[in-house]
Structure 1
Amino acid sequence: MHAEASGRPLGTLGLLRYAAASTGGVIGYTPLLTLLLPIKLQAFAPNDRYTLLVWCSVAGALTAGFANIAFGWLGDRSVARGGGRRGWMFAGLIATAASFVGIASARSGAAIVVAMVAFQVAVNALLAQVSALIAEEVPAAQKNTAAALLTIGAPLAAAASALVVALASHEGARLSLVAAMMAVCVAPLLLHAAPIVATVTSAEAEPLPVRRALAVAWTTRLLVQIANSGVSLYLFFFLARAIGQSGDAAAIVAQLLVVATLVPVPLALMLGRWSDRVGKRERFLAASALIACTGLLGMVLSGGWQAAGMCYVAFASGVSVFQALNTGHAMLLLPAGAGPGRNLGVLNLANTLPQVVAPLLALSVTTDDFTTLFALFATLPLAVTLLPTLLPMLLGAFTWRRREPSCRG
């Protein structure tokens, strides 16, 4: 049954606190994973740098998945005992800054991988609490608005990437700037507590059992994120090959990331509100997945880096809109009365597992030609358009067979 939304609606400033804190977490990892780590690995031979990039991604993603669940559960326990999550947020912020010191000082391949694992533990101690606070403190009637506002994190993080590259040339200085920007973003939510509101379940979950609806949301997000993780992992090298000697690849990629993350923000806000009014988010999710697929195919077929960059903007826009709508829907499907930290941590595996799968799909890459790999990734958002129909049917058939009585006489 659909529960009524509870809790006083939050004002714009209140909602922006959650968006800013989420942005702080995104700033923590975006410059590092998309620019600073690839730049650091440029010092290694091509075969070695790609192998190290895979290991950093796989080990980091596995660590992130388990850390997010663990810290979400620890936050749940703190709340159940009358405490709160903000102490874990503060610890995660400090630990992330400390992990940057380890990354900057790492020189060997093994040391870089270990430093990235430590970073993932630290940043997920922060991110797990921010997600759970949105689920706990934002009224149900504003969940989708809050989820759409989270899209501002990507362009601000991309701008931060460009800023740290422009303002500092030394790795340690760049990471120090990232840590400072994180602290500024997280501070408003860290210092402001809000009451917990009752967890509700969306009316859109009624036609299907909640578990099936969550399975659809989780699986479709997984597929889109595999494509997104793979493209993000190799974007710098893909465009650097196309740019060649005609420009500064690091600066061009940083600027492109800003554009590619600014465009989806108004789209996500508009479509988030629109989908709330008309219901049936599946059509909006399918449309955004098709845009992502088209953009990625355009990158594969493009003849120069300018065309590839424009297609990447289309791909990133489709992915960002899909993520926003999918996040809001999933939060509304969380079981009532259960600690959101652990459950959101499990759902977050759809974000972290792709960081394992995508590099493993690319283990055969030993050159700078990513055409076949990107074409493979393009099939995944295309498959997303079919899953909302096929997966519930498959799950329903499986459940029916399990419950079918024996006909033996």
Structure 2
Amino acid sequence: MTSFDAAAETSGRSALAEPTTNPPWSWVSALSLVNLGITAGWFGPIQVLLAEQARAISPDHKEQVLGWVLGVGAFVSTVCNPLFGAFSDRTTLRMGRRLPWILVGAAGGALSLVVLSVAESVPMMMLGWCGVQMFLNAMYAAVTAAVPDQVPEARRGLVGGLLAIAQTLGVVGGVGIASVTGSIAAGYLVTIAVLLVLTLPYALRSRDLALPRDYRPPPFQLGRFLSSFWVSPRRHPDFAWTWITRFLVNIGNYVGTMYLLYFVTDGLGFSEDEGPDKVFWLTVIYALTMVFTTAFGGAWSDRLGRRKVFVIWSGIVAGTATLILAIPQTYPAAVVAAAVLGVGYGIYTAVDFALITQVLPAAEGRAGPRRHQHRQRPPAGVRPDHRRPAAHPGPQLRRLGGHPRRVVVFGVRRGLRLRLRGQRPRLDLRHPDPLGPVTDQLASASWRRTTGALAT
């Protein structure tokens, strides 16, 4: 019996206390499945279906249509994720704080995907995608908050890594569904079925905890809610740098995935029939390398008790991938870039969730707007998580020029976020964490004074 299984008993747990026992593996599996379903609901449309739909509606302006649809959806996502997180924190139903929003989000997301399946105009397409973003973010806010609700801090790296793997498989599954179903409408309908089926196990065994009967959460006040989005970077440097890092990582990653179909067809010269298949195999390569990296990265980070070194090296690796993708402009180079990007993003996602949850200031507000895990937005719809769309650059990307320039610009942004200065690094193989001294040498004294102790 594993340590997760041995701690399956839920008696004595409190919704407002830090968890001290590990949840059973059945709960971790159910949470992974619902994450897989949410991600499939996002990325099947993002990487294939919306792009094909934009091309069918307006062939001459497909990039602009896709940019506006994703951009407006990203705005809805950015607002709804922390909003539903705040509602979740204040939910007093007997079934718990998180489960009601997961059920509402699944039902609403399914209806919104139905709207997308019959959309034949840009406004209808935008309406459907905004609905998807709103309801799936309601689900994602609740699912994300369930981890600090029920997983002790020492195991969050492992559980976060498993969730990242599930989300990556969701990306592959969503793109695979869109590629093999044969039509836009069929792709949306199969995605609906996958979302609902994968939500069911968690709905039946959520282990969700209701707030104590004698506890009354503070009433929701719009002014206080809006003001809570501001956190002083001077007083909370760890929060500021963690948020900025996630924002830039997600922008860099999602620009490379959201416009991939057009890059393959317009940039590499493949036909419209070949494009979805090429995107699918690039996604598979990306996912395999990311899963492999994430599987070991989370446990390694927990063992070392360090997070920052993984974040820094993820930026270096992922920045290299963007250059490989942009410069040669060939499909073999795109294959290599997909593998390298998967490694870079896998390093980051292996520790990102644990890093985020370590700075949650209070158990009663784990899903609120100041809780970092909701200040993302699977870009493109930046957020997150790791793979959730949240701060999508939108139509402004077109002003940067063609595909190579766009990739290089965001690759440079991702690299600049590290602001590495100082001595030439030396690798100490005798050190228990060989990469640690390299990172410490790269980070100058001024960097450490500016950022503070970033969740080391």
Q: 1:220 deviation in Å? A: 0.7
Larger deviation: 387-396 or 213-222? 387-396
Q: Which runs of 5+ in 1 are unaligned?
A: 199-207, 397-409
Question: Is 1:393 aligned to residue 449 of structure 2?
Answer: yes
Give the Cα–Cα distance (whole angstroms) in 2 for the partners of residues 345 and 65 of structure 1. 13
CA contact (8 A) 2:84 2:138 kept: yes
Partner of 1:403: none
| Structure 1 counterpart of 2:253 | 228
CA contact (8 A) 2:96 2:208 kept: no
2:312 corresponding residue in structure 1: 286
Deviation string for 1:344-386 (max 9, x for gaps)?
76643332564555235413267xx311111101112212323
Name the residue aligned to 1:370: 403
Pick closer, same or farther for the CA change 1:391–1:119 going to 2, 3 Å. Answer: farther
Aligned to 2:251, what secondary structure does the other structure show?
A: helix
Q: Distance in 1 between matches of 2:285 and 2:300?
A: 24
CA displacement at 1:116 relative to structure 2: 1.2
Q: Which residue of structure 2 aligns with residue 262 of structure 1?
A: 288
Cα 1:357–1:178 change in 2 (3 A) is closer
CA distance in 1, matches of 2:398, 2:63: 8
Displacement of 1:339: 1.5
Q: Which residue of 1 aligns with 2:225?
A: none
> What corresponds to 2:26 in structure 1?
13
The yes-or-no answer on 1:146 pairing with 2:159 is yes
Using the alignment, how far apart are the partners of 1:72 and 1:102 within structure 2? Answer: 25
Q: 1:362 to 1:65 in 2, by over 3 A?
A: same
Contact residue 226 and residue 358 of structure 1 kept, 8 A: yes
Q: Which moved more, 1:280-289 or 1:90-99?
A: 280-289
- 8 Å CA contact 2:39–2:171 kept in 1: the answer is no
Matches within 5 A, 1:318-329: 318-329=344-355
Identify the range of structure 1 (54-63 vs 210-219) with the bigger mean alpha-carbon deviation: 210-219
**Partner Cα distance (2:249, 2:59) in 1:** 28
**Cα pair distance change 1:319/1:360, threshold 3 Å:** farther
For residue 237 of structure 1, report the CA deviation from its aligned partner.
Answer: 0.9
Aligned length, in residue pairs? 382
Return the alpha-carbon distance in structure 2 between the equivalents of residues 127 and 162 of structure 1: 20
Per-residue CA distance 1:243-301 (angstroms, 9 max, x = gap): 42477111110122122112111211212111222223211111111110001101112
Give the conservation status (yes or no) of the 8 Å contact 1:221–1:323. no
User: Aligned-pair distance for 1:394?
Assistant: 4.0
Letter in 1 for 2:312: A
**Residue 308 of structure 1 corresponds to which residue in structure 2?**
334
1-structure distance, mates of 2:167, 2:18: 29
Is this contact kept in 2: 1:286–1:384, CA < 8 A?
no
The CA distance in 2 between the partners of 1:256 and 1:331, in whole Å, is: 31
Alpha-carbon displacement from aligned partner over 1:203-253 (angstroms, at most 9, x marks no partner): xxxxx9983212111111111111112222211111223442477111110
Identity %: 22
154 and 89 in structure 1: CA distance in 2 versus 1, 3 angstrom threshold: closer
Measure the CA separation in 2 of the matches of 1:197 and 1:141. Answer: 24
- Higher RCO by CA contacts (8 Å cutoff, separation 6 or greater): 1
Q: TM-score, normalised by structure 2?
A: 0.77
Q: 1:209 to 1:324 in 2, by over 3 A?
A: farther
CA distance in 2, matches of 1:359, 1:294: 24
CA contact (8 A) 2:28 2:159 kept: yes
1:28 is the counterpart of 2:41 = yes
- Residue aligning to 1:380: 413
* AA matched with 1:264: M
> Cα gap change, 1:58/1:392 in structure 2, threshold over 3 Å: closer, same or farther?
farther
- Which residue in 2 is equivalent to 1:212? 237
Measured in 2, the distance between the counterparts of 1:356 and 1:43 equals 26
Q: In the alignment, what sits opposite 2:428?
A: none
Amino acid at match of 1:260: Y
Q: Which amino acid aligns with 1:271?
A: G
- Give the Cα separation in 2 of the matches to 1:375 and 1:53: 21
* Root-mean-square deviation over aligned CA pairs: 2.8
- What are structure 2's unaligned runs of at least 5 residues? 1-16, 212-232, 383-389, 421-442
Output the CA distance in 2 between the equivalents of 1:344 and 1:140. Answer: 19
Aligned-partner Cα distance in 1 for 2:125–2:367? 29
- 1:135 paired with 2:148, answer yes
Q: Is structure 2 residue 73 aligned with structure 1 residue 60?
A: yes
Q: Is the 8 A contact 2:160 2:351 kept in 1?
A: yes
Counterpart residue identity of residue 14, structure 1? W
TM-score when normalising by structure 1: 0.85
**Counterparts of 1:57-136 in structure 2 under 5 Å?**
57-79=70-92, 83-136=96-149
| Bigger proportion of residues as helix | 1
Contact preservation (8 Å) 1:69, 1:128? yes
Q: Which amino acid aligns with 1:359?
A: G
